[in-house]
């Protein structure tokens, strides 16, 4: 929920699950509580005193972003049903805070100059008891709906490997560099003081199929959408992660959920949009 003119789309349902944008402060608070449980209690992020006391993961971007959330309606019809979330920041929202969140890790000038509307994705998380393919597919359907509604031409953000030892993911990082590096025109590069070389091994030392299979599900999801990666990894000691930049041009998306939503929206009467 933000003040940049975003319109909510109708909730997309799949059985007990549903995905839509957050509509009030209580839902955003529940998202922040979910992020705290996942990032800090489960994944080992290091909270500051305020974060530890509030048990909320929040920052200034939450106030200007749109928040995509997944409900499990079997758990309840209120905030108790929230089981997944994604933060969406459009350029007009980021301008209220002097730029995108990812600019703290990457030089994203090529993306900011891109001829088309851009969207930053971040803070993806799903409750431990709901990490299923169906929940992730629903999140992607929600993103596709948002992309279509706002005519987004390019999406980007940071995705993470667990831990702060890049050599623990040497094969995967090397694979990504040699097989999915973004074209120069849209390639972000890690800031010089944070740059970690992704080419940890010689290319012939890795098994591409094995490396692809070992990628975190979120990164594989971006690749299935035709995504690319930026140049350089970044260590995030606060969140206990090794980050990479990911970029998706939406005109390359072949995912069935985007195409399905596009057809569905085109065929609906205007008042349902």
> Both tokens of residue 18?
């549903």
CA neighbor of 231 nearest in space, from 178, 267, 193, 268 = 178
Average of per-residue pLDDT across 128-150: 90
Count of alpha carbons within 13 angstroms of residue 171, beta-carbon side: 13
Q: From CA 232, how far away is CA 214, in angstroms rounded?
A: 19
- How far, in Å, are 6, 31, 180, 244, 251 from residue 190 at the CA level? 30, 28, 16, 8, 25
Q: Tell me: the pLDDT tens digits for 19-50?
A: 999 999 999 999 999 999 999 999 999 999 99
Q: From CA 4, how far away is CA 6, in angstroms rounded?
A: 6
SS3 27: helix
- Residue 48 is predicted with a pLDDT of 95
Q: Tell me: the pLDDT tens digits for 60-83?
A: 999 999 999 999 999 988 999 999
* Candidate from 129-138, 164-173, 259-268 with smallest mean pLDDT: 259-268
Average of per-residue pLDDT across 156-173: 97
- Whole-structure pTM value: 0.89
Pairing relationship of beta strands 234-236 and 241-249 according to DSSP bridges = antiparallel
Q: From CA 241, how far away is CA 197, in angstroms rounded?
A: 15
Angle at 222 between CA 219 and CA 224, to 5 degrees: 110
- Residue 235 is predicted with a pLDDT of 98
Residues in the chain: 273
Domains and CATH numbers, the chain: 12-272 (3.40.630.30)
Q: From CA 256, how far away is CA 254, in angstroms rounded?
A: 6
């Amino acid at each position: 929920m933000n003040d940049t003119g975003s319109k909510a789309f109708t909730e997309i349902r799949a059985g007990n699950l549903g995905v839509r944008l957050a509509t009030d402060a209580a839902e955003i608070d529940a998202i922040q509580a979910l992020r705290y449980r996942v990032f800090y209690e489960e994944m080992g992020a290091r909270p500051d005193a305020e974060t530890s006391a509030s048990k909320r993961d929040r920052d200034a971007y939450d106030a200007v972003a749109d928040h995509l959330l997944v409900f499990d309606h079997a758990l309840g019809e209120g905030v108790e049903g929230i089981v997944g979330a994604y933060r969406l920041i459009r350029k007009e929202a980021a301008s209220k805070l002097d730029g995108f969140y990812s600019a703290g890790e990457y030089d994203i000038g090529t993306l900011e100059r891109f001829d088309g509307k851009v969207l930053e994705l971040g803070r993806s998380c799903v409750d431990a008891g709901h990490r299923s393919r169906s929940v992730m597919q629903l999140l992607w359907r929600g993103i596709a709906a948002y992309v279509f509604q706002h005519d987004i031409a390019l999406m980007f953000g940071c995705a993470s490997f667990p831990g702060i030892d890049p050599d623990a993911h040497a094969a995967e990082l090397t694979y990504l560099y040699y097989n999915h590096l973004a074209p120069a025109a849209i390639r972000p590069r890690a800031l010089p003081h944070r740059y970690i070389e992704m080419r940890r091994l010689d290319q012939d030392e890795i098994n591409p199929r094995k490396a692809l299979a070992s990628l975190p599900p979120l990164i594989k999801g971006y690749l299935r959408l035709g995504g690319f990666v930026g140049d350089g990894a970044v260590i995030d000691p606060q969140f206990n992660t090794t980050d990479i930049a990911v970029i998706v041009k939406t005109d390359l998306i072949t995912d069935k959920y985007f195409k399905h939503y596009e057809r569905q929206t085109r065929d609906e009467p205007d008042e349902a949009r």
